[in-house]
Amino acid sequence: MSQTYVHGYHARENERLQDQAGTLVDLLHSDTAYPAGSTVLEVGCGVGAQTVTLAGRSPDARFTSVDISAHSLAEAKRRADRAGLTNVEFQLANIFELPFTAESFDHVFVCFVLEHLSRPLEALAILKNQLKVGGTITVIEGDHGSAYFHPDSAAARAAIDCLVEMQRRAGGNALIGRELYPLMIGSGFDAVRVSPRVVYVDSSRPDLVDGFTRKTFTAMVEGVRESAVVAGLIEPQNFDEGIHDLYRTTEMDGVFCYTFFKAVGEKKPG
C-alpha cells in the first residue's frame, strides 16, 4: 500500500494529519534505531516517507536508500534535503539487481515493498546476501485482510476484496503481513520476531478517523473502483455501497481496525 499510504499522509499540510501521521510513525518505527557508524540499506524507499523518519532517528548511521523509480527518488531527495538530513545517499536500483557487493551492509530495512513483489522469498534471499553476518533485517507490511469494522458490512468487505484481488493480479499480495514469519524463516533468517501493530480507530481519535480510515484506507480502496469494475469483479453500485459503508465507520459510533506487521531477523554465520 506504499503509494496511497505515502500520499495519504505527506501531500497535505493539515496539522491534524501531521499529528496523526506522528502516531502511526511511532507505532511502526519507534523501536527501530541503528548504532552510530552502522550502514543501512533501505530498499524501495519510494518518495522517502520512511527514509526521513529512519534517518532522522538514527542520525549517526549511514543510509543507502534505493528505489526503482527515478521520479520517486527525486522527491525522496527533496524531502531528505528539506529535513536537513546528511546521512542518506539515494541510488536508482532494482531490488533484484542490486549494484552492491555481497555482505556490504550492517542492516537492511524494507517497508511496504514485499507486498508488490511476485517473488518475495527471492527478494529476501537477495537482501540476506547484502547483509554482513550478524546484521539485521527489518520488514514492515500491512495486511488488508486484517481490516474489520463496526458497523460490519458485506459490501465493504467485497470492495476491500477487490483491492486484494487487483493487487494479486498485478503479482502482489495485499495479505502479506500475516506471512512475514514464514517468509523470513523460509529465506534463511534467524531469531525472527514478528509483532503486530494495530491501528485502532474510534471517534475518540479524530485524527486517525480522518487521516487513516478516511484518507488512507478508504481512499486506497476507492482507488481501484474503475479497474475492479472493468475487470468484472464487482458491480459499480455494489462497490459504491461498500465505500459508503467504509465511510459509515467514521461516524460517532463507528470503529475501524487495521494491523501492520513488523518482522526483525538476523543473519547468523553459516
Q: Which residues bind its own copies (CB under 8 A)?
A: 143, 145-146, 148-150, 152, 175, 178-179, 181-182, 185-186, 192-196, 198, 200, 202-204, 252-255, 257, 259
Q: Least Å distance between CB 250 and its own copies?
A: 13
Q: Least Å distance between CB 203 and its own copies?
A: 7
Q: Least Å distance between CB 62 and its own copies?
A: 31
Q: Least Å distance between CB 268 and its own copies?
A: 15
For residue 113 the three cell numbers come to 515493498
CA distance 107 to 132: 8
Long-range contacts made by residues 75-78, C-beta under 8 angstroms, separation at least 24?
Answer: 75/47, 75/48, 76/45, 76/46, 76/47, 76/48, 76/51, 77/48
Q: Least Å distance between CB 170 and its own copies?
A: 18
DSSP codes of every residue in 106-121: EEEEEES-GGG-S-HH
Cβ count near 41 (within 10 Å):
25
Q: In the complex with its own copies, which residue's Cβ is closer, 109 or 260?
A: 260
Which runs of E-coded beta strand occur in 70-188?
A: 88-92, 105-111, 131-141, 148-150
For residue 39 the three cell numbers come to 550502514
Q: In the complex with its own copies, which residue's Cβ is closer, 25 or 121?
A: 121
Residue type, 196: P
- From first CA to last CA, the distance across the chain in angstroms is 35
From 189, 164, 190, select the one nearest 177 (Cα to Cα).
164
What percent of the chain is helix, strand and coil (3-state, nearest 5)?
A: 50, 25, 30
| 3-class secondary-structure state, position 155 | helix
Q: In the complex with its own copies, which residue's Cβ is closer, 69 or 203?
A: 203
Q: In the complex with its own copies, which residue's Cβ is closer, 57 or 205?
A: 205
Q: Residue 98 phi/psi, 5° resolution?
A: -70, 135
Q: Least Å distance between CB 175 and its own copies?
A: 7
Q: In the complex with its own copies, which residue's Cβ is closer, 214 or 225?
A: 214
Per the CB < 8 A criterion, the answer to whether 100 and 41 are in contact is yes
Q: In the complex with its own copies, which residue's Cβ is closer, 78 or 193?
A: 193
What are residue 140's DSSP bridge partners? 111, 262
Q: Least Å distance between CB 36 and its own copies?
A: 30
Q: In the complex with its own copies, which residue's Cβ is closer, 55 or 140?
A: 140
Q: In the complex with its own copies, which residue's Cβ is closer, 26 or 226?
A: 26
Q: Least Å distance between CB 186 and its own copies?
A: 7
